[in-house]
Chains A and B, each alone.
Chain A
Amino acid sequence: MSTEQETQLTATRYRRYVYVWLSLIVLTSLTVSVARLHLTHYAILIAILIATTKAGIVVTFFMHLKNEPLILKLMLFVALLAFTLIALLTFSDVWYR
């Protein structure tokens, strides 16, 4: 997409950004409410899931990744993959000692 086209699109997005923000607020209240349920075992998993959804929304819409070229999305994937693998290998030590 050319820079001019992008300018047009991002420029008309005020309302859409507010909707995105609203969804983030909703997810925040969701995560706080779920925490009140004290689910112990699943608490952290659900919290991380909701947090990741929020992060994904910020990346996709606020950080404009949705409209960026594929290469940036690939790079983000590589960086996330790197971190995931590091974490998994570290846990292969910590969990099995």
Chain B
Amino acid sequence: MLGDIALLLVGAVLVNNFVLVQFLGLCPFMGVSNKLETAMGMSVATTFVLTLASVCSYLTYNYLLIPLDLAYLRTISFILVIAVVVQFTEMVVRKTSPLLHRVLGVFLPLITTNCAVLGVALLNINQAHNFIESLFYGLGAALGFSLVLVLFAAMRERLAVADVPEPFQGAAIGMITAGLASLAFMGFAGLI
């Protein structure tokens, strides 16, 4: 059991990293990784949202949709669940840290449409995870996202002060670096 969970986590964080291997959640990844502090804030927010959303979607699917034979409504109801969880998170963040709220304000609703969050919820169904597995899959996805976001933010901070040729400055060199990082993560392919 524990071994399964460990494999699941390693898979979600490294081997099938949601950002660099499965190419989900690229929007917040490119948008928030300019500074290390905002990246860390965003990764904490996403971890919270992803784990909670993963659990809530599992519960919604298994205890509401399946008994009522409404499995085909899973996409729309998952979006509903995720939107509510994000709104809730936004309210909590606004209360606890106004600056983080001012900075992340535009991105919190973005987590709603972050395909990584919906992706995790739907993949849980596809791979027929049970409750514990769904929880850890969501957690793993979030940890993978956070890892890559923080690493990338550190790199982008260095790129911002480096001597980048003018046509490449800004997002362009960011995308190239993301591509190279993606190539690097392919190295994990044979891990499990």
A, B from the same assembly: no
